[in-house]
Structure 1
Amino acid sequence: MNSSTNAKSYAKVVENGVQAVEEVNQLRSNGYVYDDIFVLAHDGDRSERIAETADADQIGLKEEGMFDALANLFRSRGDELRAKITSMGFTEAEAQFYEKELDLGKVLVIAKKA
């Protein structure tokens, strides 16, 4: 299970955008780069604003693949978030936990080495 292809992403739930920016900066100082760091919030616009402020990425086509990215057009936001989280290597149960945290207004910072 130590194979890099099975390497699990790092994830941390934070309370707000300010903490998300601090976490992204900490990850940068630990060697992660722009393409390795992702920010998710329940509100898509909020995800985008925090990602821009933190100079982090959003989970998109490259990470999800064409099928999931297209399927997300027809999913609820909760389903879409869980699909994005599982596309980063997390289990469905972990994705459900993180999505519930996002539902409470928290922000999820994910880091995954390419």
Structure 2
Amino acid sequence: MTVKRIVENAVQAKSEIEELTRQGFTHDDIYIFAHDKKRSDDITDALDTESVGMQEQGFLDSMKNMFSSRGDELRNKMEAAGLTAEDAADAERELDHGKLVLIARK
């Protein structure tokens, strides 16, 4: 089961994470994405959520992302976190407008 939420800021993200944990997700099941890498890393650390890494993507996709645009990297990571290619593209457009994308997957 994969759930996607779009929020405006870290305060709303925290509230959504609390709701997702009440629904049975753990912090390790939840991923947060922001278009700016530093913002994404800071919010992920502050809210104790998971990062998409080699385990979710695999070695080759992780290496490919090192040479991809930020948009391509984000779409690949969101797909690895459980979204379809179409949903990942839609979510990436939301990121372009400064929003945050939360993905929870069991």
TM-score of the aligned structures, taking structure 2 as reference length: 0.93
The answer on 1:30 being equivalent to 2:23 is: yes
Which of 7, 20, 39 is 2:13 aligned to? 20
The answer on 1:40 being equivalent to 2:33 is: yes
Contact 2:82 2:105 in 1 (8 A): no
Aligned pairs for 1:6-17 within 5 A: 7=1, 9-17=2-10
**Structure 2 regions of 5+ residues with no counterpart?**
none
Partners of 1:27 and 1:66 lie apart in 2 by 29
Residue in 1 that maps onto 2:80:
87
**Structure 1 regions of 5+ residues with no counterpart?**
1-6
Task: Please list every run of at least 4 consecutive aligned residues from structure 1 whose deviation after the TM superposition is greater than 6 angstroms.
Answer: none
The superposition leaves residues 76-96 of structure 1 with CA deviations (integer Å, 9 ceiling, x where unpaired) of 000000001111232222111
Partners of 2:99 and 2:22 lie apart in 1 by 23
RMSD: 1.1
Which of 96, 101, 107 is 2:94 aligned to? 101
SS at match of 1:89: coil
Aligned residues: 106
The alpha-carbon deviation at position 100 of structure 1 amounts to: 0.5
The alpha-carbon deviation at position 101 of structure 1 amounts to: 0.2
The superposition leaves residues 33-73 of structure 1 with CA deviations (integer Å, 9 ceiling, x where unpaired) of 12201111001111111111211112111111111111100
